[in-house]
Amino acid sequence: NAGVTQTPKFRVLKTGQSMTLLCAQDMNHEYMYWYRQDPGMGLRLIHYSVGEGTTAKGEVPDGYNVSRLKKQNFLLGLESAAPSQTSVYFCASRARGSYNEQFFGPGTRLTVL
């Protein structure tokens, strides 16, 4: 099992450019999440999904969109990147049920100039 994988690992964008971050999991998990991590701010939830075809807003959704067309993939889109979106982005997945472990990907470091 590869677990949770993220593509790309690093990316530099110019303000106004768009991009999509891809998250894939091979554990057949129902729940998937996108977080951003900034110094001193912990993990902040951007969007999440409880199943194929469903998404919901998290704590900091503005400026991002997501899609979950397939159960194993969760895409995070930035339509018009801003310097405030410079961050490390983590994807995670989890099986349904309150006792289940959340597995994280290795992260994507995004810099917006």
Partner 1 sequence: GENVEQHPSTLSVQEGDSAVIKCTYSDSASNYFPWYKQELGKGPQLIIDIRSNVGEKKDQRIAVTLNKTAKHFSLHITETQPEDSAVYFCAATSMNRDDKIIFGKGTRLHILP
> Could you list the residues that contact partner 1 (CB under 8 A)?
4, 31, 33, 40-43, 45, 48, 50, 56, 58, 90, 92, 94, 96-99, 101-102, 104-107
User: Nearest 5°: phi and psi at 84?
Assistant: -65, -15
Give me the least distance between CB of 16 and partner 1, in Å please. Answer: 29
Give me the least distance between CB of 80 and partner 1, in Å please. Answer: 27
Residue 72, classified by CB atoms within 10 Å of its CB into exposed (0-12), middle (13-18) or buried (19+), is: middle
Give me the least distance between CB of 42 and partner 1, in Å please. Answer: 4
Q: What is the CA radius of gyration of the chain?
A: 13
